[in-house]
A and B are shown apart, each in its own frame.
Chain A
Amino acid sequence: MSRVEIIVWPCLVGVLLLALWEIAVRMLDVPSFVLPPPSAIAVALVKDGPSLLLSLIETLKLTIAAFAASCVSGLLLAILFTRDRRIEAALRPWAVVLQVTPIVAIAPMVVIWVGIDHVERAVFVLATIVGFFPILANASFGLRDVDPGLSDLFRLYRANRWQRLFRLELPAALPAILAGARISAGLALIGTVVAEFSAGSGEATGLAWRIAESGARLEIARLFAALLLLAFAGIGLNFLLAWVEKYVRSQRHLDARSG
């Protein structure tokens, strides 16, 4: 499949679905507070675009901060895990507990602990919790996935633990870490929006609040417009990290460079 086709086919499907949507809503006379036609969403996007965009920027700021915190904490924990099997055995179950706990369920507690006057801090903490696990899982896999021959060479040349970490394990783990980062970035965005919803109070300024507000006012077109922006932000974030990942891979394997 050519590069052009990769873009053309999904777009064609999108246009087709939008057309069906528009026709169906008009023909069936669906009220716009139930399901607005795409044209109404486009109008809302133009009209409310700037204010929604400001909210999106607020959300993205928190997303990026939470993503960065996820990367740092996930990577540090992964390094700790891979130093000693006992450390991992002792801590991994607790990391899993953190992962499987629904963020909505702990949101009220986190708000009380850190977010009474600063909801954004609670959102940051919650989104970080959501985002850190893929980094931890991928990085601890990558740090162990070292060429055994290279590992022997480092032993033969009496490398110390820092040399081993910085010259062997981290570079070897980089592709896995980046793959984790891509998943984590998406989760951090979702985490931020969900956390904004759950922690939501009057002073929240992120996109989630706009969505909640639109829903409450039955401005469904505006709600869809906000969702659309969110989707674009997610796609953008994903593409950015996919590009970084691809670049790193292409440095190591020529076959990826032609792909």
Chain B
Amino acid sequence: MLSLRDVALTYRNGVRALDGVSLDVADGAFVALLGPSGCGKSTLLRLIAGLEKPSRGSVSGAENTSVGFVFQDPTLMPWADALTNARLALDLAHMPRLEADARARDALHAVGLRGFETALPAELSGGMRMRVSLARALAPEPRLLLLDEPFAALDEITRFKLNDDLRTIWMQRKCTVLFVTHSVFESAYLATRVAVMTARPGRIASQRDVDLPASRSVATRTEPAYAALARALSGDLEQATAQ
């Protein structure tokens, strides 16, 4: 279990990004972190990944776990093809080439990029680049997947498709997912639990379990329960930002 206790982070320039964040994430959960822009959501993910150190408090449960990270931008190596990009973590871990190739190829297939192994990032659309980025995070089969508004820059059609694909991957791989978003609807659609954050300095204002059926589809988006949940989350968000 991933556990954050009273975590605070103040940057060297004096900006207080987080103040008193406490959060528990059960193994295999899909938790969405919902909050306004600039509330420290990204900082929180970076803390969990070990890319930042907390000024106060503790983060436990992620130290010895394999972590996958997907950024807001695809951040691919522009000089390397999709397969090489997807293989990055495995290459850096000195995995033998044949095995690494096979696993990277599997990850590309899992995100729907069969046949694009040799394509360079410049030859791919924005959605496909994000898929490569997702495959790169999945290739080392992480136990914890951190996603930082990964689909925010994509068009709605692509975003919906990737939402479904991500749900499928999560259900197949049974990893823990922490998904940062500023979209009420995206968080409601994807997660098993939604944690709402306040404006900077960020803190968890409230949490809400998602009582929707495990299998979600286009139909989910028009269900009354989904609409009710989205309305409740909007209320939570409004309250959190008003504080």
Contact = CB atoms under 8 A, between A and B. Distances in A.
Given A149-B71, A149-B75, A156 B123 contact: no
Interface residues of A, number: 21
Given A156-B51, A251-B122, 19 more contacts: A147-B75, A149-B71, A149-B75, A152-B46, A152-B69, A153-B75, A156-B50, A157-B88, A158-B92, A159-B92, A167-B91, A171-B77, A171-B79, A171-B80, A172-B77, A172-B79, A252-B79, A252-B122, A254-B122
A89 interface: no
B120 interface: yes
Interface string A148-165: 011011111111000100
Interface of A: 147, 149-150, 152-159, 163, 167-168, 171-172, 174, 251-254
B73 interface: yes
A152 B88 contact: no
Nearest to B73: A149
B135 interface: no
Interface of B: 46, 49-51, 67, 69, 71, 73, 75, 77-80, 88-89, 91-93, 120-123, 140
Nearest to A159: B92
B28 to A, nearest CB: 22
Most chain B CB within 10 A, of A156, A163, A251, A252, is at: A156
Given A147-B75, A252-B120, A157 B51 contact: no
Contacts of B67: 156
Nearest to B148: A149
- A-B complex: 10 closest residue pairs judged by Cβ atoms: A149-B75, A252-B78, A157-B92, A254-B122, A157-B89, A159-B92, A171-B79, A149-B71, A152-B51, A150-B75
